[in-house]
Amino acid sequence: MRPTTGTEGLLRLHAPQVLGALVRRYGHFGAAEDAVQEALLAAARQWPDQGVPENPRGWLIKVASRRLMDQLRADDARRRRREEDAARLTPRDAFTAPPPGESRAPADDDTLTLLFLCCRPELTAAAQVALTLRAVGGLTTAEIARAHLVPEATMAQRISRAKAKIKGAPFRQPGPADRDARLAVVLQVLYLIFNEGYTATSGDALHRADLAREAIRLTRSVRRLLPREGPVTGLLALMLLTEARSAARTGSHGELIPLDEQDRALWDRRAIAEGTALVEEALGQGPPGAYQLQAAIAALHDEAADADATDWPQILALYDVLVRLAPEPMAELGRAVAYAMVHGPRAGLQELESFEDALRGHYRLEAVRAHLLERAGDAEGARAAYRSAARGTLSRPEAHYLQTRAARLAP
């Protein structure tokens, strides 16, 4: 049975917290993840019919703990000794999650500890990102593979090897020096989780609000630990300024509404105010990095009264700095759009040619090409590019939007 939307959101919210609780108490990262998945499956089957328990996280922890203990009992004597040690060291009330509404201190947040555990230095950067997206972000292996443009089998092997490497690692927050060394990967992972929530790479829904909210929550937790780190502040600002537009991004039937056509009265002005203040703070916390610059670009979009009032020259100037500082294809793609808005669509199309090999076959490249060709008056070329982009995305709302744009240009 497929869970309802409400149940699905609860499960995604609590999954990393439950996994963190089990790993902290028992270790056995791989076995704990399997037990959590079984508990989530049991909840998905039972909750829609029987109702959500008063304490969902406590229910999941109890069920997952039982599954894990069953696995350990079925193992060899060495694992049985570990089970006995775990049982002896576990407090009597360990299977009881905090009551609803009770907050936990950031240092006691198992999800945050799990986040840093997945970013241990003995793992490669690629393995750190993949493991964290799987364990903390709740993304499927297929979703992670698509985000990294690699085959699913390759990503599955990467995650499996990462689990094996951290087996037996202590479940605790790193010290200051070690924490700083892992910070860049932690922020990259949070950014990827947020992006998957803001624009899902597959499925019927464009926006996965639970993922976006969890990424924001975790980023706030990291900022409480490191309040004067510009990249942390910048990333939180970027998330808030981007998520502030979410209510206006889809129509009544879930269809995608592009930025220049959105009803800006639906934007979350409180989130925009907080994000804008954080941008100013982040830019004062040392030399600007990629997150600070992207947040500044988002602030310029959010501060414009309408699409025509957007300060595209300033946005282009920020993109120029961004691609020099952190050259990567998606930043180049954003810069090409800004360049076209300042210098015209034909100039933007020429910019695409300079880096299109790095994104060849990616639907976002074709979508931007289609948009610029349409603005340039090449209806036939735009229609073909829109169709190509629609074939390349697994997101139904994006595919529908792109197909609709193509249909509007039919002779």
DSSP letters for 75-128: S-HHHHHHHHHHHHHS-TTTT-PPPTT----GGG-HHHHHHHHTT-TTS-HHHH
Please state the rounded mean pLDDT for residues 122-132.
Answer: 84
Q: Which residues of 180-201 are buried (b: 16+ CB within 10 A; e: fewer)?
A: eebbebbbbbbbbbbbbbbbbb
Ranked by mean pLDDT, which of 205-214, 215-224, 339-348 comes out on top? 339-348
Nearest to 319 by CA among 342, 286, 344: 342
Residue 279 lies in a domain: no
Residue 81 lies in a domain: yes
Is residue 202 within a helix (H) or strand (E), and if so which, with residue range? strand 202-203
pLDDT confidence of 94, banded at 50, 70, 90?
very low
Q: What is the pLDDT of residue 233?
A: 96
Residue 202 lies in a domain: no
Please state the rounded mean pLDDT for residues 58-71.
Answer: 85
Please state the rounded mean pLDDT for residues 254-282.
Answer: 95
Residue 342 lies in a domain: no
User: Which pLDDT tens digit goes with each residue over 166-178?
Assistant: 888 888 777 777 7
Residue 76 lies in a domain: yes
Residue 235 burial class via C-beta count within 10 angstroms: exposed 0-12, middle 13-18, buried 19 and up: buried
Q: How much of the chain, in percent, has pLDDT values that exceed 70? A: 89
Q: Which of the residue ranges 104-108, 139-143, 145-149 would you say has the lowest mean pLDDT? A: 104-108
Residue 257 lies in a domain: no
Give the span between the Cα atoms of 194 and 188, in whole angstroms: 10
Whether residue 325 is predicted with pLDDT greater than 90 in this model: the reply is: yes
Residue 227 lies in a domain: no
Q: What number of other Cβ atoms are within 10 A of residue 136's Cβ?
A: 28
Residue 396 lies in a domain: no
Q: Are 2 and 44 in contact (CB under 8 A)?
A: yes
Q: What is the pLDDT of residue 104?
A: 43
Q: How many domains does the chain have?
A: 1
Residue 92 burial class via C-beta count within 10 angstroms: exposed 0-12, middle 13-18, buried 19 and up: exposed
> How far are the Cα atoms of 34, 322, 357 from residue 325, in angstroms, in the given order?
41, 5, 20
pLDDT confidence of 221, banded at 50, 70, 90?
confident
HSE toward the beta carbon, residue 277, CA cutoff 13 A: 6
Domain span including residue 51: 1-95
Please state the rounded mean pLDDT for residues 345-352.
Answer: 96
* pTM (two decimals): 0.75
Whether residue 100 is predicted with pLDDT greater than 60 in this model: the reply is: no
Nearest to 132 by CA among 175, 213, 190: 190
Q: What is the pLDDT of residue 4?
A: 44
Q: What is the pLDDT of residue 389?
A: 95
